[in-house]
């Protein structure tokens, strides 16, 4: 549309090119986005790496395996542990495991029994109100024999992954804690 002298119609706005300020804002947003991606993407995939250090996935899967099948009284009722199989697991008594038909060899090394490879592992059952990582192990009498519910490597490590589950052993609630490093 052209304006003629003396007309009162709208004026046309000329097309303008990208200004320096527009370019600077766009480049700044791009650099900020690239920086955020480089800062956070490695941390997203860290739990899935094959590092030999701690592994939250290994600790979690081990706790699930113990409470869901290996020590469970009934696979349909996970977290309700068989008292006899639990005692056999923590005591390492093959005859007790065979008598209770537990399905595992109790005197096998803990790392092999749980399938954690070369990682160190510790499994402990603690009182529900105690600290999950530092509370004392439960000592419970099963069929007239006292058992202390802890098995595996001991010692404090700086790079430890911990998983815990609330379990029922002999009618009492406890906390099963798995440490992997």
Per-residue pLDDT tens, the chain, 181 aa: give them.
555 555 565 676 666 667 888 889 999 999 999 999 888 887 776 655 555 555 788 899 999 999 998 999 888 888 899 999 999 999 988 888 888 888 888 889 988 889 888 888 999 999 988 887 788 899 988 888 899 999 988 766 677 888 999 999 988 999 999 998 8
Residue 101 within any structural domain of the chain = yes
Burial (CB count <10 Å: 0-12, 13-18, 19+), residue 147:
buried
Residue 107 within any structural domain of the chain = yes
Burial (CB count <10 Å: 0-12, 13-18, 19+), residue 135:
middle
Q: How many domains does the chain have?
A: 1
Residue 7 within any structural domain of the chain = no
Q: Is the pTM of this model over 0.75?
A: no
User: Which residue in 132, 172, 151 sits closest to 87, CA to CA?
Assistant: 151
Residue 20 within any structural domain of the chain = no
Residue 164 within any structural domain of the chain = yes
Residue 27 within any structural domain of the chain = no
Residue 133 sits in which domain range? 53-180
């Amino acid at each position: 549309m052209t304006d003629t002298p003396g007309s009162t119609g709208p004026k046309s706005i000329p097309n303008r090119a990208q200004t320096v300020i527009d370019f600077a804002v766009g480049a700044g947003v791009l650099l900020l986005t690239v920086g955020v991606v480089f800062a956070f993407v490695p941390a997203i995939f860290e739990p899935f790496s094959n590092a030999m250090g701690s592994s939250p996935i290994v600790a979690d899967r081990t706790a699930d395996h113990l409470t869901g099948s290996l020590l469970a009284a009934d696979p349909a009722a996970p977290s309700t542990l068989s008292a006899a199989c639990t005692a056999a697991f923590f005591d390492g008594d093959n005859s007790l495991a065979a008598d209770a038909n537990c399905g595992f060899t109790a005197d096998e090394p803990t790392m092999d029994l749980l399938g954690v490879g070369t990682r160190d592992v510790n499994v402990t059952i603690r009182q529900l109100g105690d600290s999950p990582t530092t509370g004392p192990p439960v000592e419970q009498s099963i069929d007239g024999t006292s058992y202390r519910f802890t098995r595996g490597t001991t010692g404090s490590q700086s790079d430890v992954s911990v998983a815990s589950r609330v379990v029922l052993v002999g009618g009492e609630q406890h906390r099963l804690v798995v440490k992997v490093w």
